[in-house]
Every structure is written in structure tokens, then in C-alpha cells.
């Protein structure tokens, strides 16, 4: 079995990455590390550079400066052996409408030296009942499961997921999240781009926010952008109507409020800053327009 990651080093290492489109700078001296077995989310508004960054990591696009290592190899100069070690799940597919699920996976398994058994993989991604169904007849959630099956049929050490749950209903999204967690638990490194902040919060070990081709911050969702130090807003109904207060010690504040009121505070709510709150503040401060958020 192939070793995971880069023999104990980062699965992905990026230093000083630059990308130009004519006179426009798409990526400004980007530095990143992604650890083996980590779910790493890349967030940013439209046009921020997410797609360019990921396509460089996948080896589909050249860079204009800096260094990039994925599994110890420069992706743009990598050969077939390296490509067999990564998986890519794009936003849209659709080339296999006339084939059934089993035929699609059997076909693609033939491209890899150590492919997973197609029948076992179909069960693993929850498509056992759809093995004979044509790809064109699958629901959106089922199609995305097939996309992931294609991405992991070669037992990749790194899996790139581009907006994986766009168009999913809530139940399908939750089921898909569990599939991704299971992959990571098995040692697969996952790089995820998504516009769903709750998705990043539920799945990602760490998050990077990119705006205008620059990385604004990298961290765990709970502390990104100083989220853990932001004030919590407590609201309640007082004798003079609705009341509110911002505090960095909400537990103590509520205890004091309870003592002051001599009992429960009517209409009490506690709002801690969400990842979305912090994200919108960060990209707003960086000058991203509202329609791009």
C-alpha cells in the first residue's frame, strides 16, 4: 500500500505562489500547507482566485512564480504515477449519461494500477440500489456520489472537491458530509472549495479565506479571523422593552442578569459570531463587493 502524504511532510506545500493573467495578478505570493488526512476548505467570493489556486494544485494550470508541492511533486510537471495518486471531483460532469453506474466505474477503474473494486465502491458511496441505473437517471445527490466514486476509484491520497453539494437538498447534503468525513478518517487528504459556510464549519479541520488573490487568514473554523474573541450579543425583554448587550464573557453576563432580574430573563437569546459573520466581515474589510459574496 502506498504511503499517505509526502513521507511525513505536508501533503500540499505552497510558497510564494503567483499567477498572472496579462497584467492582472490572480494570486499574490500565496503560502499554504495542508496536512495529510486533513479536510482543508478554501473560501472566498467570486473571482477571488479559488479556482486558479486549485487548478494549479491539480496540475491543470501553470504558475508564474513560487513553488508548489503536492505529495512531494510539482503538479504541473508530474507524470502518470503522480496523477494516479490524486482525485478530482469537478462542479459538473455529464459525459456518461448512456452508461449505468456499474459500467462507468468499471471503465474508469481500468485506468488505475491499484483501483478499488467497483462493486465495493458502489456500496461504499451509497449507490448499491442504483448499480444498473443509467447516470442520466440519477438524482442530483446520487450523481454527486457517482462523481465522488470516480474521484476515489484510484485510491487517491489527495482529493480535490469543487463545490461538491451545489443543488443538494438538506438531507442529501448531510449524507454527503458523512461520506467526506469517512474518506478523511481513512487517511485521504481533502481540499474543498465551497460557498456554503455551514459546510466548511461542519467539515473542515482548517479554513483559508482568499480575496483578491491574497490569503487573508488560515485557521480552524472556531478561531478564524479572531472569531473566538469577538463579542457575543445577549438579548432579552426588560421592563422598558427589548434590551441587548455585547459581552466577551456571556456565561458570567447571563448569570449576573439572572441574579439582577431575580429569575429567568424573558425572550433571552445569545448570538455568538458565526463563521459566516466573521467571513463577511473579513471579505468586506478587504473590499469585496456585496454581490460577490
Find the helix or strand (DSSP H, E) in which 234 lies: strand 232-238
**CA-only gyration radius of the chain, Å:** 22
CA angle 152/153/154 to nearest 5° reads 90
Spatial separation of the C-alpha atoms in residues 275 and 168, rounded to whole Å: 21
SS (H, E, C) 163-215: CCCCCCCHHHHHHHHHHHHHHHHCCCEEEEECCCHHHHHHHCCEEEEEECCEE
Following DSSP, what letter does each residue of 238-291 receive, concatenated?
A: ETTEEEEEEES-HHHHHHHHHHHHTSPPTT-EEEPPPHHHHHHHHHHHTT--GG
CA distance 74 to 272: 42
The pTM (predicted TM-score) of the whole model is: 0.83
Report whether 89 contacts 160 (CB < 8 A).
yes
Phi-psi region of 108 (alpha: psi -120 to 50; beta: other; left: phi over 0): alpha
pLDDT value, residue 238 = 87
The per-residue pLDDT string of the chain (293 residues; one tens digit each, 9 = 90 and over) reads 344 445 678 999 999 999 999 999 999 999 999 999 999 999 999 889 999 999 999 999 999 999 999 999 999 999 989 999 999 987 665 677 789 999 999 999 999 988 999 999 999 888 999 999 999 898 888 888 898 899 999 999 999 998 888 777 788 788 888 888 998 999 999 999 988 899 999 999 999 999 999 999 999 998 898 888 888 999 999 888 899 999 988 999 999 999 998 888 999 999 888 898 889 989 888 776 544 44
Note every long-range contact of 106-115, with CB atoms under 8 Å and residues 24 or more positions apart, other chains counting.
Answer: 108/150, 108/153, 109/153, 109/154, 111/154, 112/84, 112/153, 112/154, 112/155, 113/84, 114/2, 114/84, 114/154, 114/155, 115/153, 115/154, 115/155
- Measured distance CA(144)–CA(91) in Å, rounded: 9
CB-facing half-sphere around the CA of 161: CA atoms within 13 A: 34
pLDDT for 288: 65
Amino acid at each position: 500500500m502506498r504511503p499517505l502524504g509526502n513521507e511525513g511532510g505536508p501533503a500540499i506545500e505552497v510558497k510564494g505562489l503567483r499567477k498572472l493573467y496579462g497584467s492582472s495578478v490572480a494570486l499574490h505570493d500565496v503560502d499554504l500547507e495542508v496536512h495529510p488526512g486533513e479536510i482543508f476548505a478554501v473560501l472566498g467570493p467570486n473571482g477571488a482566485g479559488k479556482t486558479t489556486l486549485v487548478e494549479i494544485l491539480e496540475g491543470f494550470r501553470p504558475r508564474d512564480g513560487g513553488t508548489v508541492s503536492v505529495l512531494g511533486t510539482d503538479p504541473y510537471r508530474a507524470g502518470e504515477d503522480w496523477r494516479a495518486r490524486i482525485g478530482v471531483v469537478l462542479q459538473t460532469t455529464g459525459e456518461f449519461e448512456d452508461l449505468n453506474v456499474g459500467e462507468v466505474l468499471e471503465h474508469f477503474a481500468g485506468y488505475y494500477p491499484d483501483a478499488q473494486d467497483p462493486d465495493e465502491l458502489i456500496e461504499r458511496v451509497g449507490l448499491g440500489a442504483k448499480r444498473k441505473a443509467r447516470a442520466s437517471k440519477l438524482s442530483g445527490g446520487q450523481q454527486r456520489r457517482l462523481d465522488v466514486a470516480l474521484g476515489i476509484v484510484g485510491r487517491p491520497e489527495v482529493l480535490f472537491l469543487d463545490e461538491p453539494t451545489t443543488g443538494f437538498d438538506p438531507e442529501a447534503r448531510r449524507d454527503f458530509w458523512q461520506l467526506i468525513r469517512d474518506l478523511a478518517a481513512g487517511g485521504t487528504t481533502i481540499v474543498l472549495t465551497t460557498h456554503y459556510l455551514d459546510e466548511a464549519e461542519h467539515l473542515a479541520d482548517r479554513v483559508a479565506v482568499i480575496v483578491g488573490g491574497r490569503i487573508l487568514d488560515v485557521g480552524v473554523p472556531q478561531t478564524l479571523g479572531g472569531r473566538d474573541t469577538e463579542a457575543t450579543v445577549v438579548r432579552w425583554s426588560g421592563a422598558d422593552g427589548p434590551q441587548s448587550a455585547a459581552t466577551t464573557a456571556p456565561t458570567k453576563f447571563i448569570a449576573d442578569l439572572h441574579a439582577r432580574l431575580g429569575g429567568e430573563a424573558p425572550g433571552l437569546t445569545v448570538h455568538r459570531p458565526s463563521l459566516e459573520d466573521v467571513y463577511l466581515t473579513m471579505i468586506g474589510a478587504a473590499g469585496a463587493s456585496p454581490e460577490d459574496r
